[in-house]
Amino acid sequence: MPIDLLPSVEHFLSRRQRLLIGGQWVDSVSGETFDTLNPATGQPLCAVASGQAEDVDRAVQAARAAFPAWAALMPAERERLLRRYAELLERHKEELAQLETLDNGKPYQVAYNVEVNVAIGQMYYYAGLPTKLKGETYAVSSPGYHVYTRREPLGVCAAITPWNYSLVMAVQKIGPALASGNTLILKPAEQTPLTAIRLAELALEADLPPGVFNLVTGYGETAGAALTRHSEVDKVAFTGSTEVGKAIMQAAAGNLKRISLELGGKSPLIIFDDAELELATEAALWAIFANSGQNCVAGSRLYVQSGAYEAVIARLAQRATELRVGPGMEANTQIGPLISQQQLERVLAYVHSAEGRIVVGGERWGSVGYFVKPTIIGELSDTSRAAVEEIFGPVLSVFRFDTEDEVLARANASRFGLAAGVWTTHLGRAHRTAAALKAGVVWINTYDWFDPAVPFGGMKESGYGRELGTQVMDMYTELKSVWVKIE
Q: Hey, which residues are catalytic here?
A: 262, 296
Pinpoint the alpha helices (H) of 340-483. 341-352, 385-388, 404-412, 427-436
Question: In angstroms, what CA-CA distances link 158 with 70, 248, 335?
Answer: 16, 12, 32
What gap in Å lies between CA 438 and CA 411, rounded to an integer? 9
**19-21 and 24-26 strand pairing:** antiparallel
Query: 62 φ, ψ to 5°?
Result: -65, -40
Please report, as a single letter, which amino acid is at residue 39.
P
Nearest to 387 by CA among 418, 415, 421: 415
The DSSP secondary structure of 341-359, one letter per residue, reads: HHHHHHHHHHHHT-SSEEE
| Cα–Cα separations (whole angstroms), residue 49 to 5, 201, 210 | 23, 15, 20
Helices (H), 1-154: 7-14, 53-72, 75-91, 93-104, 108-110, 116-127
Whole-number Å distance between alpha carbons of 275 and 312 = 11
**Cα–Cα distance for residue pair 409/402, rounded to 1 Å:** 12
Angle at 83 between CA 77 and CA 86, to 5 degrees: 150
DSSP state of 203: H
Q: Which residues of 302-335 are buried (b: 16+ CB within 10 A; e: fewer)?
A: bbbbeebbeebbebbbebbeebebbbbbbeebbb
